[in-house]
A and B are shown apart, each in its own frame.
Chain A
């Protein structure tokens, strides 16, 4: 019997169905579970109250990232609530026997940086975490998605989730990316095209020459922001780039097991002739460096563009949203993006805090300095990324230029720790969300790539990196 052609998503899904109920709801097996301090305390409390254990402690890896200070780590955390949350995770991992990277472990970092870095993330797996940017791990051809705390508890107790299959979408980016255009620009352009709810109900597979040519870091950046396009998960087919990245990582399979795994992983890519519920095709040549102007990731334009005019919008609801965003952002319709001055630069987050991102920043900065009056911070994605950047001389370049070189964590991507924007401050940020208040009460965020953030740091305003490289 010949099987009908299947997508990567369908292959992963069908190999993880424990049981299918009559209405189509499946008990889906979860291979890996990442846990952090913010979305787990209530889940562990639920287990304790019900007298339940963690079914597969070895499939679970915990880290602190959201709350930890990115300054001096020799002292206890100053903010009481943050400290209590971190201590609660420490007590929980001890009680339930889960591997844990604490604040002073050099492997500590952002949960979506450390999973791949350790080889915990592998192709063909199902991976979850109580964090919407779990979609990052889809870069390896793993079905990875964010869950709420009730589902965290469900996975801890049963190593499964109750789900129905998603719809499938393929986004193909044809041709090579132009110079100065990166994975971040590609995903921002995609979100601008499909809208922030365009991927709701779908799992998106990214394909095409521009995607295939990306490093694992670039692929992670793309899959990371699938959720900003509404899709719970993004996927990229595993290939030699993927296998090279995985080989030799601490938790990756070794020797014969690695060879067996690679043979299996090679069967995963979408079969020729498989059909998707929706297909979108973009040309890489049409994509310029992108920057957001508003308070939703879909509010994006090429850096050569201008702030949109709400009067051009016919729908009253959408017009009101643009007006509100412009008011919040302190921007006037028609302003050239390159005329917008910034106060702060944030280089970090699970979107763009990996070694390649920091190399890109250092390359653009070169021997130049951060513009006077601008505060620019770099928060590496993990202790290991930080150490590597120090070894490669990247840290020295950035420190000489005037960047503040900090300890790893989520930091000002969401401002749960002490790293925040002040009211009215405008930030060029390599993170993933420009929502109202996201980086600090009344803070104003412009999302862009690491190279574009570096350019903004040097000039003090939003800048086309192609003009200053």
Chain B
């Protein structure tokens, strides 16, 4: 399918989102769509797939001007959009998910399960996926859920598949698998639009790249003719210094020590310690138990055994409030689900873990809270119209800054950051790295769990690699390389 989008304009109320965007898609190509959060990528794709209607401009499909009435019509015409938030019914089986809304039935409305299984197994075969049909989708890994979505798209005979941040939650092995599938798809003539913030992947898999900035197309270039630096420059509209700021750590005494922490079936006998002013990177494959260790440390889940020492004193952490009282702070991997209250304003979110200090006797001192929040917003340069703006309206990067702000307010000794820059654009990432440096300079200890190896290598003073619930090894900043980390993470040595 050949797609030409010309001079697309779109505004939501006063908010001009697209101001003259051009975008082309050739049959069988992988076309990267890049741009900072809020550049208009999603809106453009939503117009292409019929969710929104453009105010101006034309969309031609195979040379014919087309306006879809709704997403369903676009889907029937062969355009599939796999969103970042996967469209999965967790309580239903893999097979039920594959056929949701278009189940095959006989004349009496009875499901034709055999036939559906046959179709599904054919699709799985072409994609080289093995997944039991009767497994509940909620028990599938994110990678497997994505495979279900891709299979679903193929079952509708999609000729164009748009993927929004498909690898954000995938392990390296799953990413490899995804890339294989993508290659098979393009060989069949399917075109792919690949929206991602991960430069390495784009250069590995894509044929062309379109960069968007502030609702406009900057340009479209074949991948071999451009470079990492050039793309970043186009995206942010300026030269970006190195991706990671210079880091000079002077670790002090040990502030947190974990001994023999275990949770049955999840992680075993984990020992780790972190010092003042240090960033401890925690790497490993998805599902290795990194997040689970942090959750147990913070009292979100219960550990079965083990001890935690803070500044040499043994502490008991049964629930998050205990952890907060002992000077721990936890930035979870999923800010919308566990980090923020989306209906709350910026002020209320930042205030939440700090109510103890604004409301010592239960009555909220509104002025103190306001001043504190304004100070935090300024210090972290959160881009928000006002502290009263509802947090759900901010971009991902700014939401993440608010999560950080709310925890810094509690003056923690140890800050646990789980995937601190997931789904955040390049410019905001750099700001968060700089903030991490500033915090450690003031003596804060940071434990950073991350799936992005460049980030682990660029920011950590020391790296722990987790493999299947155990610490597989420790690497110093100087000796660590991607290869060494991956070897440990996959159980090699």
Pairing of A with B: no
Q: Which residues of A contact B (CB under 8 A)?
A: none
